[in-house]
Structure 1
Amino acid sequence: MTVLGILHPGSMGAAVAAQARRSGAEVLWCADGRSAESTQRAERYGLSAVAELSEMTDRADIILSLCPPAAAEAVARSVAALSYSGTYVDGNAVSPSTMARIKRILELSGATVVDGSVIGSPPSASKSPRLYLSGPDEALPRVAELFAGSAVQTRSLAGGVGQASALKLSYSSYQKASRVLAAVSYALAADYGVEEELLDIAHGRASSYLTETAYIPKVAERSWRWGPEMSEVADALRAVGLPAELAEASASVMGRWGGLRDSRMSVPQALEHLREARGD
């Protein structure tokens, strides 16, 4: 039986890791320092708790890291410090250059490193995200087998470590930035009382994030994670000589929402957080 370790069981990580149980894998998670919400998710998905990270690195054949991108390198270092020599899959939204650093960190401990990226919503009865994988040819099938017959669709990419990360950020650079632009558009329209007219214009177009106003609070609630991801997008753009200003600006806008993690708010409330303090 393959043993998979998940770092850490957030809403995406727990749901993805749980899909591996369908192939007969045991899924471990480390309870040390995690929140009550993480414990509840892990228990709901049937994950097996270990008290310390060292127990996971001793037992796991494969470790999957799905954490906020700003923490990806620190998580990799914590695993490398325990001389982990199995297969380490970094599934985080990081730039190819960040992924190269993570690869070097883990290879020093003897680990085999696979670059991964999840595109889509957490897997469920109705949703099937894709897990893209790139890296050593011999390692990719072992990871893919974990999710055979599950709601997670694996896709292998040629070209080695960095390819999966590049694909993720290519998608993120549009998908997340466009939602931020829609929010800023509505914040401006609301200041002049023309938001209903803006929505009417957007509905006349074939497709536009401007029609999805209910999503704006969700963007605000997720910006604590999406903001650092857009900084990674900017890093990836600069590395190949492309302009990074839009990604940097999106990260800056999301910074105004950075303290709203897990908040529940209306569209007007989310838009108000975009405004600088004013004296009026």
Structure 2
Amino acid sequence: MDQPTVGILHPGSMGAAVAACAKTNAASVLWCPVGRSPASVARAEQHGLEPVPTLQELLDRADMVISLCPPAAAEDLAHLIAEHGFADGVFVEANAVNAERAQRIADLLPRTKAVVDGGVIGSPPVGGKTPTLYLSGPAAATERVEALFSDTAVQTKVLGTEIGQASTLKLAYASFQKASRVLVALSIGIAREHGVDQELIDIASRRTDSYLSEPEYITKTAARAWRWGPELLEAADMLAAAGLPPEMLHAAATTLARWDDVKDDGELTLTDALNRLAQP
């Protein structure tokens, strides 16, 4: 397969490092510095990306465009790409957007040869880090993206042909990974307020696995929701008293309330628990 010319929009810490990996199998990797910050310019120079004077030139030259930007800007950026025209290449929507937004972005680019839904899970590919770029979309297009990152620090995995699958996986994982870190801050905050934060850390250090890898625990959570919800409301009161935001625990208690009618149900299946959560 011929080496493609690749355009990257816009090289943040993840985008620049991913673009640098793309250089391995690309004829060149382009970016447009217009309107970008000095930090972006420095990253692009550090990773050897080729600057072009206009977005239009980038789109005219690129066989593949990878969009990696803050998720709030992803759809506006796609509108901009549509206005400038990008008809002959593959557009990789690799931002942390939901499945519906990913489909809207694909719909904005009907003249594009193919749109691939992507989601990066892991840290930027520097210093030995090897994130995975999950892909979904037309098979011929995902194969081209796989080839672009072959033998690089960016691993790839195709999930299927449906736009939205990669975005869903990214956000499903991020919802746990990122929200759990917020919960860490809240938990440590409560404990520190009463001088028991080190004890809390010692307790947690005895368990190193992740509940995300134990979906069977969902049924146990559902069966105990009737008493866990009120417990979290007590903790929310403590957060508020300490000047910490209680909303996250209020939301968790509201979620648990959807399982109130399966109190201590030892026969509950995972499917039943998830169905009750989705359709209270």
1:7 is aligned to 9
Tell me the amino acid that sits aligned with residue 99 of structure 2.
P
Query: Is residue 2:186 matched to residue 1:184?
Result: yes
TM-score normalised by length of structure 2: 0.72
Task: Give the C-alpha shift of residue 162 in structure 1.
Answer: 0.7
2:49 is aligned to 47
Task: Give the C-alpha shift of residue 206 in structure 1.
Answer: 3.4
In 1, the alpha carbon distance for the partners of 2:250 and 2:62 equals 37
Task: Give the C-alpha shift of residue 203 in structure 1.
Answer: 1.6
Task: Give the C-alpha shift of residue 247 in structure 1.
Answer: 11
1:101 is aligned to 104
Where structure 2 has 5 or more consecutive residues not aligned to the other structure, the ranges are 212-246, 253-280
Tell me the amino acid that sits aligned with residue 105 of structure 2.
I
Distance 1:38 1:168, change over 3 A: same
Kept in 2, the 8 Å contact 1:89–1:114? The answer is yes
Distance 1:175 1:54, change over 3 A: same
Cα deviations by residue, 1:12-65 (Å, 9 ceiling, x for unpaired): 000001101111431001100000000000001000001111111111100000
Tell me the amino acid that sits aligned with residue 143 of structure 1.
V
Cα deviations by residue, 1:199-243 (Å, 9 ceiling, x for unpaired): 12112223479xxxxxxxxxxxxxxxxxxxxxxxxxxxxxxxxxx
Where structure 1 has 5 or more consecutive residues not aligned to the other structure, the ranges are 210-244, 251-280
Tell me the amino acid that sits aligned with residue 91 of structure 2.
Y
Trace 1:140-151 onto structure 2 (pairs within 5 A).
Answer: 140-151=142-153
Distance 1:248 1:61, change over 3 A: farther
Identity of aligned residues (%): 53
DSSP-derived class of the 1:121 partner: coil
Task: Give the C-alpha shift of residue 125 in structure 1.
Answer: 4.2
In 2, the alpha carbon distance for the partners of 1:172 and 1:184 equals 18
DSSP-derived class of the 1:118 partner: strand
Distance 1:248 1:96, change over 3 A: farther
Q: 1:194 aligns with which of 185, 193, 196?
A: 196
Kept in 2, the 8 Å contact 1:125–1:151? The answer is no
Kept in 1, the 8 Å contact 2:91–2:112? The answer is no
Q: 2:134 aligns with which of 127, 132, 135?
A: 132
Aligned residues: 214
Query: Is residue 2:100 matched to residue 1:88?
Result: no
In 2, the alpha carbon distance for the partners of 1:177 and 1:34 equals 30
Task: Give the C-alpha shift of residue 89 in structure 1.
Answer: 0.3
Kept in 1, the 8 Å contact 2:138–2:161? The answer is no
Tell me the amino acid that sits aligned with residue 10 of structure 1.
G
DSSP-derived class of the 2:203 partner: helix
For the pair shown, the structure with the greater C-alpha radius of gyration is: 2
Task: Give the C-alpha shift of residue 123 in structure 1.
Answer: 0.6
2:205 is aligned to 203
Tell me the amino acid that sits aligned with residue 121 of structure 1.
S
DSSP-derived class of the 2:31 partner: strand
Cα deviations by residue, 1:60-80 (Å, 9 ceiling, x for unpaired): 100000111111101111111
1:175 is aligned to 177
Trace 1:1-80 onto structure 2 (pairs within 5 A).
Answer: 1-80=3-82
Tell me the amino acid that sits aligned with residue 165 of structure 2.
Q
In 2, the alpha carbon distance for the partners of 1:206 and 1:31 equals 43
Cα deviations by residue, 1:132-155 (Å, 9 ceiling, x for unpaired): 111011111111111111111111
Distance 1:18 1:161, change over 3 A: same
Trace 1:110-129 onto structure 2 (pairs within 5 A).
Answer: 110-129=112-131
Kept in 2, the 8 Å contact 1:63–1:87? The answer is yes
Distance 1:128 1:248, change over 3 A: farther
